[in-house]
Amino acid sequence: FPSGMKSLGDYMHSKGAKFGLYTAESPTTCADYAASSDHEVEDAKTFASWGVDYMKVDGCGDTGYYKHGYQAMGAALEASGRPIEYSCSWPAYIGDNESTKPFAEFIMDGCNEWRNWEDIQCNWGSLSSIIDHWGDYGTVLAPFAGPGHWHDMDMLLVGANCITEDEEMTQMAIWAISASPLIMGNDLTKVSASSKAILLNSAAISVSQDPLGQMGIRLPAYTSKSAQQVWSRRLGNGDAAVALYNKLGAGVSAAQDSAACPSWHEVRGGRVEACGGGASDFLRGRLSSAAIANLSRVGALEACCVDANCEGFTFSVSGQKPAYEAATPERCGSNQPMRAVLAGGPADISVNFADVGMYGAVTVFDIWAQKALGTFYTSYTAKGVPLHGTSFLRFSAATESAIVV
C-alpha cells in the first residue's frame, strides 16, 4: 500500500466499508509478522490514527502472556480516542470446554467479541462441527452474550463458493440465531446472486441485530446426533426466531455407537473429536482404546480417510486453537473410498410453539421467502427442508385481525 495505511482506510471508508486489521498478543503473528505484545499502547494509537474500525487480536505465542496482554490491548484501544471493535482470540487457545473459560474476564478486558473455538474452513464438515459445538455449549455460552460482547463462531462462508446454497442458508440462520457477528470471508468480486441475496436478507439481518441481544440456543431436546434440530432465539419485541435444521436427512437415525457426540479421545500429541460435525465416532468400533491412544494426528487422518462416513475431525493441542482436519481427496489420495451417500434427503420438521415460548395463535413468517405463511395454533411443520438446509422462521403473537376461525 504505497500511499500508506491511513490512505487505505480512507479509501475503504469512501466505499462504505469498515477498516479491519489484524495483530496478535505475541511477538509475531501466526504468519511470523511483527505483532503487539509489550507494544499495546503504541500500536493502539497507530491503529486509531489509520482509522481502523475493527481489530482482530490473535494469540500465536506464550499463552501465559494473554491474561496481561489482552487486558492491556483492551485498555489501550479504549484510550486511543477512536471507537474500535476489539475481537479477542484468547478463548480459542484455552481448550474446548466452554464451561471453564473466564468470559466475565474477557468482558472486563474490553473484548467486544471473542473467537471461542476452531478456525472455520471452506467445507461443510468444518461448518457443521462448529454448529455442533455451539449446540453442545449453548446454555453455557448464552449468559455471557449481549450488546457489546459476543461469541464469534468465525467468518461466514456465504459467497465463498465452497458450500451449497442450502448450507449457506443454514450458516446464516444459525449464526443469526446464535447472535454471532456476521463477518464475510469471501472475495466481494465473486459473490453469486443467490449468495448476495442471503447476505442481504433484511429479515435475517434483523434477527442477527435484534436490540435485546439475547443469544439463541439449540433446544435441549436435541443433540449433535439428532438428524433434525430446532434452534430458537427470543427477540426484543416478544417474537421468536426459529431455525429448523435438517442435519442428516429424513430417514437417518442418530448413530447407534455407544459414544455421544462430541466424542473426544486422547491421542499422541493432543486430542481428537471423532464426530467431526457428523453423527458418529469414526474411531470407536474400528480401533481399540489402546490403538486410539497411540494414534498421531497423521494416523487419525489416515483412519478418517478410509472410513466412507468420515468427512473430518477436530484436533486440539493444549495452548493452541483447535483445528479442523478435513478428509479431502487431496489429503487422502488413493486411501479415500467413495464418500458414503446419505440415505436421507428432505425432511419435514415440526416445532411446538410452547417449546419456544409462544402460546395461543401464532403468525409464522418465512425469513428466506420474506412472506407470511399464515396463523397457526400449537405447532408448525416445515415441509421438505433440504439436507443440510434450514427453514428460518419468525414467530409472532397473532393479532385479532390475523386470526381466522
Q: Which residue has the cell 442481504?
A: 200
Alpha-helix runs per DSSP H in 214-357: 289-293, 297-305, 329-332
For residues 214, 277, 264, 280, the Cα torsion angle rounded to the nearest 10 degrees is 130
The candidate with the shortest Cα–Cα distance to 230, out of 132, 133, 350, 372, is: 350
Active site residue 119: yes
Q: Which among 53, 62, 109, 119 is annotated as catalytic?
A: 119
Q: Which residues contact 233 (CB under 8 A, 6 or more apart)?
A: 176, 177, 178, 179, 207, 210, 214, 215, 216, 217, 240, 241, 242
Task: Catalogue the E-assigned strands of 247-385.
Answer: 264-267, 270-273, 312-316, 323-326, 347-352, 361-366, 371-377, 379-385
Residue 84, classed as helix, strand or coil, is coil
177 burial via Cβ count (<10 Å: 0-12, 13-18, 19+): buried
State the cell numbers at 67. 491474561
Q: Where are the alpha helices (DSSP H) in 191-277?
A: 193-199, 202-208
Which is catalytic among the residues 10, 32, 43, 58?
Answer: 58
What is the spatial distance between Cα 293 and Cα 357, in angstroms, rounded to a whole number? 45
What are the b/e assignments for 309-321, b being 16+ CB within 10 Å? ebbbbbbbeeeeb
152 neighbors 113 (Cβ within 8 angstroms): yes
DSSP 380: E
Q: Which active-site residues does the annotation give?
A: 58, 119
